[in-house]
Structure 1
Amino acid sequence: MSFNMYVPTRILFGLGAVKKLHEQEFPGKKAVIVISNGKSTKENGYLDTVKSEMSKAGVETVVFDKIQPNPLKATAEEGGKFARENNCDFIVALGGGSVMDASKAIAVSATNDGDLWDYAFGKTGKGMPIKNAPLPIVAVTTTAGTGSEVDQWGVITNPETNEKIGFGGIDELFPIIAVVDPELMKTVPPRFTAYQGFDALFHSTECYIAKCSNLMSDMYALTAIENIGNYLPRAVKDGNDIEAREHVALANTLSGVVMTLSSCTSEHSIEHAMSAYHQDLPHGAGLIMISKEYYKYFISQHICDERFVKMAKALGMENADKADDFITALEKLQNDCGVGDLKMSDFGIEKIEADVIAANARETMGGLFEADPCELGHEDCAEIVKKSYR
């Protein structure tokens, strides 16, 4: 029942929330707006809107527009240097999870000397403490997937060592303000709406079965799962369905909060290993492809059957009465969202990689295995990847 809750982020949630940005208090007069290296943020007018809001607040801005879908260590270091050279007081992260994740690494790099990997954990990271306070972050999310707008973690990839790991974890990396405006999510394509929605879902399902789950995290997790189950198929079908977008956005933010109360499990470690070797693999897609076999493993151990029943009911299967019903409900949701047919082979993954992926997952993000409801050994982990392969 015990929990330790600290989520200091001011959350501006709802339609038109971005237009209230200029009313907030900011930690300085100059900000670097961090966006992706794609076109959507600019073409959809989101960048202009945020620049205008900051201008109204008397804040000067510069733009760093180089973040990849799986953000790289070198890019974060370049962003940190850019922020320093432009004498920026804080960061405005405008985009999806990758942008917000990268912004946390940029915030650290901007105020701390040395290689970014000096402060990273995992196989080759030095795990040094972050000595100087990172730049404050304002997060304006344009997707509903990671919940990174309300937590203190980011994920960064080091392609030289094939490591994709969680980065940060200190209180100073909680965004000071999070803007969650469903209007900014209407242009996300259907498939990516699904990928992102399932990422949010699995944050909550993992935290719900984790050893460290508690009464508070359970409340957030089940509410998030219900909102994904009821509204994600609608958001995928019609991106302009604002009611659906609102509920999926809420689930996303709740899933971000639940990760500060509980912990993700090894499902995320496995997917991070997959995309560490395959940069073009969307995180949510990777999670979807391994999810059924992953949860089947824990169901077979009968370690928390009642929790799987409750999750099945939260996904809309009201008559669920056995753990296997969760897999049925999960499969239906994936099919309803048009992502039930994803194949690893379509993303360049080969079945023979299973052993390497399993080893990488434990070496780079072994801590999440400790949160699993029961032990998941190397062979079982590799078998999950093999069984998921198509």
Structure 2
Amino acid sequence: MSFQMYVPTRILFGKGQLGHLHSQQMPGKKALIIISNGKSTKENGYLSETEKQLHLAGIETVVFDEIMANPLKTTVMEGSVCARKNNCDFIVALGGGSVMDASKAIAAMATNDGDLWDYVSGGTGKGKTLSSEPLPIIAITTTAGTGSEVDQYGVISNQETNEKIGFGGYDSLFPTMAIVDAELMKSVPTKFTAYQGFDALFHSVECYISAAANLMSDMYALTAIENVGKYLVRAVKDGNDLEAREHMAFANTLSGVVMTISACTSEHSMEHAMSAYHHQLPHGAGLIMISQAYFTYFIENHACDDRFVRMAQALGMEGANAPMDFIRALVKLQEDCGVSDLKMSDYGIQPNEFMTMAQNARATMGGLFQCDPMPLSDEDCAAIFKKSYR
């Protein structure tokens, strides 16, 4: 029954909401707009419209366009230097999860000395506490995947140490405002719509079976799962289906909130280890690869049978009455979205890495293992990787 909830982000949800940015209260006078190193944000006009809105509000702007998928510590440090050199007093994160995650770390390092890994807990991080408040953040999400627009965490990779670790947890890293406008999501390619949709799904699935689950998180998680089950296939098949895009955006935002009330489980730790060593692996794709074997492990051990039945029903299998119905519903959703045949080997993952990745997952993000509905050993994790491999 017990839970704590604090989500201070003002959420502007709905198509066309970016056009209202200029009328909102701004947290500063000069913004560092952070975008990816790809072309879509510029070519689709999202950057120019954001600049227009900020300029209408009397805000000066500088653009930092270096963020890649699975953002790197080195890029975060470059972004923090850019913010300092240009005297920016707040951040506008315009993009998907990687941009929003990196923006939180940049906001912190723009006002604190040293290296980002000084403030990372887990792995080789030094676990120091931030001494100065991060710059305020406005998050404008262009994808429906991570929910990072409404939480206080970001995941950053350190290529020097093959670590991919969640950074944050400070109340001051919650974005002050989130704009969730499905009009900005219509250009997301088919396969990435699917990858991102499953990332949002697994946030809620994990939080629903988590040892940290509670009445409030259950409400958010099940509603998100229902929306993914009903609308993800439509969004994948027709990116211009605005109704489907809006419902997936809604599921994504709920899946971001649920992580602040409950907690993800070790599936996310395991995938972070995969993409820490194989940087080109999209996070959502990695989660899809291991999901069937991962959740089957808990079902075979009867960790929380009733919860898997309820999630199968939420995904659209109304007559579900057995825990394995969840796996059947999950596999069908993956097949319908065209992502059921993803291969680890296509991204360079080899069987001799399974134990290394299992140990890396626990060393870097061991806290999520404590949220599993039953204990999962390194050997269990390696076995899940093995069963998922092709």
Alignment TM class, shorter chain as reference = over 0.9
Partner of 1:257: 257
Q: Deviation digits for residues 164-198 of structure 1, max 9, x if unmatched?
A: 00001100000000000000000000000000000
Which residue of structure 1 lines up, in the alignment, with residue 385 of structure 2? 385
Aligned pairs for 1:299-318 (under 5 A) are 299-318=299-318
**1:28 & 1:157 partners in 2: Cα distance?**
29
Instruction: Please tell me the residue identity of whatever aligns with 1:129.
Output: T
* 1:137 lines up with 2:137 in the alignment: yes
**How far apart are the structure 1 equivalents of 2:154 and 2:28?**
23
Distance 1:378 1:155 in 2: 22
Percent identical pairs in the alignment equals 72
TM-superposed CA distance for 1:122, in Å, is 1.2
2:138 aligned with 1:169 = no
Q: How does 1:1-390 map to 2 (within 5 A)?
A: 1-390=1-390
Deviations 1:304-352 (A, max 9, x none): 1000000000000001001000000000000010000101111111122
Cα distance, 1:4 vs. partner?
0.4
CA distance in 2, matches of 1:350, 1:226: 35
User: Displacement, 1:354?
Assistant: 0.6
- TM-score w.r.t. structure 1 length? 1.00
Counterparts of 1:142 and 1:350 in 2: how far apart (Å)?
33
Equivalent residue of 1:349, what SS? coil
Aligned partners of 1:183 and 1:351: how far apart in 2?
42
C-alpha distance after superposition, 1:265-323 (max 9, x if no partner): 00000000000000100000000000000000000110210000000000000010010
Where in structure 1 do 4 or more consecutive aligned residues deviate above 4 Å?
A: none
Give 1:275's aligned amino acid. Answer: S
Partner-residue secondary structure (3-state), 1:157: strand
Runs (5+) with no aligned partner, structure 2: none
2: CA distance between counterparts of 1:219 and 1:92?
30
Amino acid at match of 2:40: S
What's the CA shift string for 1:228-276, capped at 9, x where partnerless?
0000000000000000000000000000000000000000000000000
TM-score between both structures, scaled by the size of structure 2: 1.00
CA distance in 2, matches of 1:89, 1:227: 37
| Distance of 2:385 and 2:41 partners within structure 1 | 35
Shift of 1:163: 0.3
In 2, the alpha carbon distance for the partners of 1:378 and 1:148 equals 29
Q: Structure 1: 5+ residue runs without aligned partners? A: none
State how many pairs are aligned: 390
Equivalent residue letter for 1:246: E
**Cα deviation, residue 115, structure 1:** 1.0
SS of 1:383's equivalent in the other structure is helix
